Every structure is written in structure tokens, then in C-alpha cells.
Amino acid sequence: MRTVAIMKRVLTEMLRDKRSLALMFLAPILVLWLMSVIFTANSTTSVNVGTVGVTASVSTNLDKVKHVNVHHYTSQAKAKKAMKADKVDAIIHKTGNDYSLTYANTDSSKTAAVKMAFRNALTQTSISQMKSQLGMTQKTIAKLQQTLPAPVRKQVQSQMPVQKKLATPQITNHYVYGDSSTGFFDKMLPILMGFFVFFFVFLISGMALLKERTSGTLSRLLATPVKRYEIVIGYMASYGILAIFQTILIVMATIWLLGVEVVGNVFNIIVINLILALVALAFGILLSTFANSEFQMVQFIPVVIIPQIFFSGIIPMDSMASWIKDISYIIPIKYSGDAVTGIMMQGKNLSSFGLDIGVLLIFLVVLTVLNVKGLKRYRKV
Amino acid sequence: MVDAIIDLEHLVKKFGKQTVLKDVNLTVMPQQIVGLIGPSGAGKSTVIKTALGMEVADGGSATVFGQVMPKRQLLARIGYMAQTDALYESLTGRENLKFFAQMKGIKKAELTESIAHVSEVVDLQDDLDKRVSGYSGGMMRRLSLSIALLGNPELLVLDEPTVGIDPALRRQIWQELNAIRDEGRSILITTHVMDEAELTDKVALLLGGEVIAFDEPAALKSQYQVDSIENVFLKAEGEFK
């Protein structure tokens, strides 16, 4: 009964705080939309390459590569001038049989693109050279065959490999998830969704409890026969409801507004995010006891929130050192990110994420118990 | 002999190395208003918090209604008003009252009546549906007091209840406090206003972590050979130093 009263009160307070409400519901959508625009529009980089003394065949092949524009320069000095003027991103200089490449390297992705394009062009050039050499060899062989006596010629011809026309193989792409435009953003989205839920619930609930403590209402509340766990559960219920709405809104926005494909069940995503929100809530309440003002609460963002992004899986963990990987096991967003990614991109069921959900629930139980115990600081029973 | 409502015996309270309460003895009997006075920092609020069980005594004992504090169930029988107003400012006065009434476990049937009664005492019945953020300082103080009065608690613990309340209303509140006393309930009140201390049945003077004097106002005045509690306070403080 008291739990319900606390829940109602927290929700009423929340609903009257229009700005925080807008922050919780509109800010994630705005940021997601911005990110989708930024990360999908510029997925390809086009590069300008200056060439000096490069053979025509190589430079044509280079020009054929998509997003590569080739400019010819008569001398290295002129090419360097162009690079300084930001007209070319790389210079390819041929001296004798060797190539020397100079990169502006202000954008590592452009450098990588030039390296790859140049290697392709060189391979193609040498292939065509080999082809023409092969043709010449065959012609010579044919001529030689003419000069052979008839029985020998027959024998040789039967041993010659049958000349087949090599057909260029057709390549068809099939995408298990999404289509050819599926990019980095789609990989980030399931994790980002969890991040927003975590961030806003953490901050707003932490602030709410902090305010309750500094304004004295917490002492007043604890001067009534309310049980400590009733307060914690009341808070959890109210922020749980809020988190459900927030998740529904974010999921709907990603599907309808951003056009992201969700393979699995939306309901499953909401379940995972709800658990994450409760973890964030418990975390926010716990940390708010270590803060003496709203400003000190904000100071937890770089310490607590930012590392969550790094270890959430947005940045691939495979390449990291093993001790860094171990840190990710204590990051709640990692588990929700794994689960939501699986649901969104592979259509998996909740049952396949027993471990992730289990770990999140352990987080939740431990933090909640700590919170109930922690309230003892303000009332000894 | 009647049992005491509050009985503090040789109460010791330390915060870290600092001893705030050295040896506090204080009893509040039924049908009694006890005033607790002392300079700021003397530990008046600490006495109250220990009596309520928010702090645990490091020595001695705090007994309320014959039971050793802290004890959660007893809090339903105590009305507490803190020094800070401690209100939910985005809620209306009525919502604040209703919420705390629910927390105190007041039955639904009595809720409306109880809210109407306490708001009348503090003269807020017309402003109940306004948000507390729009209240003046005095109105907030009154709402805070009315929350403490909810549910007719047998014991009222009021920490500086009349700060920021104008004289007419203060008189009205004291009338109500007297009426509560006459009903057989008890009140422990801390105050800075010395002429308020005159209105109590017994005054406890808290100095240096000890109750150095605990008697009826008239008895105290004759003991210190002065004509007002204010002078008792000044004289006692002077002697203490």
C-alpha cells in the first residue's frame, strides 16, 4: 500500500517536471536521429590521388576504382604543391620500376582507401599484362605446332588443355540482416538504446533521491513507520513504468523514423531494457548517497557513464587486451547490448540470453539490497 | 506513577570523535509540553533524532512509550516536524498531506477528515490545492506543521515549529498545542523564541551536551533569580562559560 503511494507520488512529481520528461523522451530520439544521419550519409570516402610518372594503364585502372579521382602531374614538386593546397590526398610517384607513395594522412580512412585502390590497380595492370603475354605465348605455340609433323601434332593437340572461355563469375550479395546500406549505426543502435535508458534513468532517479535527501523529505518519510524496502520498491516501480514508456518510444522511433529493421520481438527488447532501467535506477540511488549536491551527481557521468560506452560493445572488444575485456564483465550495458543486438539483428528469443539476463538480475538484486541497507544511514531501523 | 512518554537516560551521542551529547536526561510525561532550549549547535536536533530512532545512542537509553528506540512501529504514534520544511514542492498542499497520511498508515476512511482538520489548524484550508512551490515561507512552515499533526499522534516532536510564522498565527498554533496537551497527548518542542518557552510546562536547558536545568518555567526563574526564561538562558550560558 505504501509502496503504491510512493510510486504514485514519484510519478506525479515526474509528470509535473515537463523539462526532465522531455529530456527523457525526446532527447534520445533527437540524438539517435542525428547519429543515423551522420553515420549513414558519409559511409564512403572519396579520395583524390596525384600521379607522377605513372604508366597510363596503372592510372586508368586506378581511376576505374570507385570514389578515386586521379590527377596527373608532370613533376613531384607540382604534386606536392597540390597536396599542400588540399587538392590531393596522396601522391603516387614512379621512379624506374618502383613506386613511392606519399599520404597526406590527415584522415586515416582516406589513406587506407588509397592503399587499397593502388594495390587493386597494380594487380589489375599486372593481370592484363599477364593476359597479353599469355596470348602471345599461345600464338607462338600454335605456330610451332604448324611446323610439327602430322601424327606428332595430333598427339600434342590431345595433350593440350582444352581452351575454355573463362566467364567472369557473377557475384550476388545476400544479407542476413538489413541490406547493403546497413552500416555502423545499425550495429550501434541496440547498444545506444540501452545506453539512453541507462543514462537518463540513472541521472534522473539519482537526482530525485538526492533532492529527497537534501530537502529533508527523506528524513520526514523515514520518521513515519514506512519500511525501507517500501521506499526502494516504490521508486523502482515508478521508474520502471517510465522506462517502459521510454523504451517503447525509442523502439518505435528507430523502426518508423529511422527505418531500422527489427528482426526479433519488440516485446523482448522492452523486457531487457526494463531490467537495465531498474539496474540503472538502483545504481543511481546508490551513487546519489555519495553526492552532496546535484553538481556532484553530474560528476559521476564521466566516471560511471562514459566507461559504459567504451565497454558496451560499440567498439569491438576482440582487438582489446584481455585484461580490458575482463572489465566489460562488470558493465551492465554490455549484457543488455548483447541481448538486444541478438534480438534485433538475429531475432533470437529471450531464452537464448539466460546468462545476460541472469547477470543483470544479479546486478539488480545486489544493488537493491545495498540501497535498502544504505537507507539505514538515515534511520537506524 | 504514570509512565513517561519519552524517557532519555544518560544519553551519549558521538559523531566520529566529537561528542555532541555527553549526558542527557529528559522525561516527557503524558499531558505535558516540554520545551528544549539551548544555543545553536548545542545538540537539540540530535536529542530529537535519537528519541525518534534516526540516530542510535552511543550510551544510555532512549525509551519512547516504554519501548527502547529505535523501533519502527512506534513512529506511527509520533508526529515529527523537522527544522527544514521537507515538502514536495511540485505537489499541492493536499497531495503532500495525503502522501504523508498514507505513509503514517492513516486509514482511507479517516483520510479526508484528518486532512481537513489539520489544515484548518494551520489556516491553510483555502490554499490546499495550490502547488507548494507557490507557497510563501510561512505557508510552507504551516503545512509542515500540519503534516506532523496528521492522525492525532500521541506524541508530537516539533523542531522549531514557529520560525517564520506571524504572531497571530503563532498564538493560534499555541492554542492548538495546548488543546492537544489537554487531550492528554504530549509535546516535545525545541525553540529559539524564549517567550515561547514560557508557554511550556517544563523547560529543559541544553548546554555543552548536558541538560543543565529541567524544571517548570516559574521554578527556573526563581532558581536563577531572574524574571524571564530569556534571562535564565543568558545567565546559565554565562555561568557555563
Per-residue pLDDT tens for A103-155?
888 887 888 888 888 888 888 888 888 888 998 888 888 888 888 777 777 77
Instruction: Reply yes or no on whether the pLDDT at B178 is more than 60.
Output: yes
Q: What is the pLDDT of residues A216-256, one digit of tens each?
A: 888 888 888 888 889 888 988 888 888 888 888 888 888 88
A 10 A CB-CB count for A10 gives 24
Residues 58-117 of chain B with CB under 8 A from chain A are 70-76, 78, 80, 82-91, 95, 99-100, 102-105
Judging contacts by C-beta atoms under 8 Å, the chain B residues touching residue A227 are 72
pLDDT reported for residue B196: 82
Q: Phi then psi for A78, rounded to 5 degrees? A: -65, -40
- Tell me the average pLDDT across A94-98: 82
The closest alpha carbon to A336, from A250, A246, A276, belongs to A276
What CATH number is given to the structural domain containing B68?
3.40.50.300
Instruction: Reply yes or no on whether the pLDDT at B195 is more than 70.
Output: yes
Confidence of residue A366 (pLDDT cuts 50, 70, 90): very high
Residues 220-239 of chain B with CB under 8 A from chain A are none
Ranked by mean pLDDT, which of A151-155, A257-261, B1-5, B112-116 comes out on top?
B112-116
Given an 8 Å threshold on Cβ–Cβ distance, is A381 in contact with B53?
yes
Instruction: Reply yes or no on whether the pLDDT at A7 is more than 80.
Output: yes
Asked whether the beta carbons of A67 and A47 are under 8 A apart, the reply is yes
- Tell me the average pLDDT across B214-223: 81
Given an 8 Å threshold on Cβ–Cβ distance, is A225 in contact with B105?
yes
Q: Which of A5, A226, A380 is facing B55, going by the closest CB pair?
A: A380
Q: What is the pLDDT of residues A174-204, one digit of tens each?
A: 777 666 666 677 777 888 888 888 888 888 8
pLDDT reported for residue A362: 92
- Interface check for B14 against chain A (CB to CB < 8 A): the answer is no
pLDDT reported for residue A187: 77
Given an 8 Å threshold on Cβ–Cβ distance, is A215 in contact with B102?
no
pLDDT reported for residue B25: 83
Given an 8 Å threshold on Cβ–Cβ distance, is A380 in contact with B70?
yes
Instruction: Reply yes or no on whether the pLDDT at A43 is more than 60.
Output: no
Which DSSP symbol is given to A119?
H
Distance between A108 CA and the closest CA of chain B, angstroms: 53
Judging contacts by C-beta atoms under 8 Å, the chain B residues touching residue A223 are 52, 54, 75, 78, 80, 82
Q: Hey, of B88, B130, B144, B163, which one would you mutate to test binding to chain A, going by the most A CBs within 10 A of its CB?
A: B88
- Tell me the average pLDDT across A323-335: 83
Tell me if residue A73 falls in helix, strand or coil.
Answer: strand
Which residues pair with residue A103 across a beta bridge? A90
| Any domain includes B94 | no
Domain ranges of chain A: 2-31+185-377, 47-135
pLDDT reported for residue A67: 80
Given an 8 Å threshold on Cβ–Cβ distance, is B70 in contact with A220?
no
Q: Which of A17, A225, A379 is facing B90, going by the closest CB pair?
A: A17
What is the total count of domains within chain B? 1
Q: Which three cell numbers stand for residue A330?
A: 562488470
Q: Which domain holds residue B220?
A: 6-83+155-240
Q: Hey, of A9, A227, A231, which one would you mutate to test binding to chain B, going by the most B CBs within 10 A of its CB?
A: A9
- Interface check for A9 against chain B (CB to CB < 8 A): the answer is yes
Distance between B241 CA and the closest CA of chain A, angstroms: 34
- Nearest residue on chain A to B90, alpha-carbon basis: A13
Instruction: Reply yes or no on whether the pLDDT at A166 is more than 70.
Output: no
Asked whether the beta carbons of A313 and A174 are under 8 A apart, the reply is no
Distance between B190 CA and the closest CA of chain A, angstroms: 17
Mean pLDDT for all residues in chain A: 83
- Interface check for A16 against chain B (CB to CB < 8 A): the answer is yes
Distance between A304 CA and the closest CA of chain B, angstroms: 29
pLDDT reported for residue A361: 92
Judging contacts by C-beta atoms under 8 Å, the chain A residues touching residue B82 are 216, 219-220, 223
- Interface check for A229 against chain B (CB to CB < 8 A): the answer is no
Q: Hey, of B94, B99, B146, B158, which one would you mutate to test binding to chain A, going by the most A CBs within 10 A of its CB?
A: B99
pLDDT reported for residue A288: 87
Instruction: Reply yes or no on whether the pLDDT at A162 is more than 60.
Output: no
Ranked by mean pLDDT, which of A366-375, B5-14, B228-237 comes out on top?
A366-375
- Interface check for B159 against chain A (CB to CB < 8 A): the answer is no
- Interface check for A169 against chain B (CB to CB < 8 A): the answer is no
Q: Which of B70, B75, B82 is facing A224, going by the closest CB pair?
A: B75
Distance, CA of B22 to CA of B211 (rounded, Å): 9
Given an 8 Å threshold on Cβ–Cβ distance, is A2 in contact with B105?
yes
Q: What is the pLDDT of residues B26-78, one digit of tens each?
A: 888 888 888 888 877 778 888 888 888 888 778 888 888 888 777 788 888 88
Distances (CA, A) of B17 to B21, B44, B58, B210: 12, 19, 12, 17
Spell out the residues 6+ positions from residue A196 whose beta carbon is closer than 8 angstroms to its own.
A27, A28, A31, A32, A246, A250
| Any domain includes B182 | yes
DSSP states of chain B as a string? -PPPSEEEEEEEEEETTEEEEEEEEEEE-TT-EEEEE--TTSSHHHHHHHHHTSS--SEEEEEETTEESP-GGGGGGEEEE-SS----TTSBHHHHHHHHHHHHT--HHHHHHHHHHHHHHTT-TTTTTSBGGGS-HHHHHHHHHHHHHTT--SEEEEESTTTT--HHHHHHHHHHHHHHHHTT-EEEEE-S-HHHHTTSSEEEEEETTEEEEEE-HHHHHHHHT-SSHHHHHHHHHHHH-
Given an 8 Å threshold on Cβ–Cβ distance, is A225 in contact with B72?
yes
| Any domain includes B1 | no
Given an 8 Å threshold on Cβ–Cβ distance, is A379 in contact with B54?
yes
pLDDT above 90 covers a percentage of chain B that reads 3
Instruction: Reply yes or no on whether the pLDDT at B94 is more than 80.
Output: yes
Confidence of residue A167 (pLDDT cuts 50, 70, 90): low
Q: Hey, of B49, B71, B72, which one would you mutate to test binding to chain A, going by the most A CBs within 10 A of its CB?
A: B72
DSSP states of B137-159 as a string? HHHHHHHHHHHHHTT--SEEEEE
| Any domain includes B72 | yes
Q: Hey, of A11, A212, A220, which one would you mutate to test binding to chain B, going by the most B CBs within 10 A of its CB?
A: A220
| Any domain includes B207 | yes
CATH 3.40.50.620 for the A47-135 domain, yes or no:
no
- Tell me the average pLDDT across A334-357: 84
Length of chain A: 381
- Nearest residue on chain B to A223, alpha-carbon basis: B75
- Tell me the average pLDDT across A65-77: 84
Confidence of residue A365 (pLDDT cuts 50, 70, 90): very high
| Any domain includes B124 | no
A with B: how many residue pairs have Cβ under 8 Å apart?
81
Instruction: Reply yes or no on whether the pLDDT at A41 is more than 70.
Output: no
| Any domain includes B146 | no
